[in-house]
Amino acid sequence: MYKIYFTNEYGEARSYNEDTLESALETVSGLRNQSRYSFVTMVGENPNQVGKMGVDSVEDGKLPSGEEYTWKMRR
């Protein structure tokens, strides 16, 4: 599910829902090409995602991919 937010020529906030990425991108492109709409943006939700994005564990100094974890916080 993708949600498209935009402001119309009267400054009113509006939104559309789209089911596919392709249709959402087409809608966003169409709105951006019309000068009467502004602040056009799109967000998506991944219902199949189970955890947080990014690395979820570092074990024995290695990432899940096997690469070494070398990041250190510097002040």
Q: What is the mean pLDDT of each run of 10 residues along the chain (75 residues)?
A: 95 94 95 95 81 72 85 81
Residue 59 lies in a domain: no
The confidence score (pLDDT) of residue 52 equals: 66
Q: Which residues, including other chains, have CB under 8 Å from residue 69's CB and lie 6 or more apart?
A: 55, 58, 61, 62, 63
Question: In the structure encoding, which two tokens stand for residue 59, read together?
Answer: 């074990």
Q: What total of structural domains would you count in the chain?
A: 1
Question: In the structure encoding, which two tokens stand for residue 66, read together?
Answer: 């096997």
Distance separating alpha carbons of residues 55 and 49, to the nearest angstrom: 14
Residue 66 lies in a domain: no
Strand ranges (E), 1-75: 2-7, 13-18, 38-44
Which domain, by its residues, includes 21? Answer: 2-44
Distance separating alpha carbons of residues 21 and 16, to the nearest angstrom: 13
Phi then psi dihedrals of residue 42, to 5 deg: -140, 145
The confidence score (pLDDT) of residue 16 equals: 92
Residue 32 lies in a domain: yes
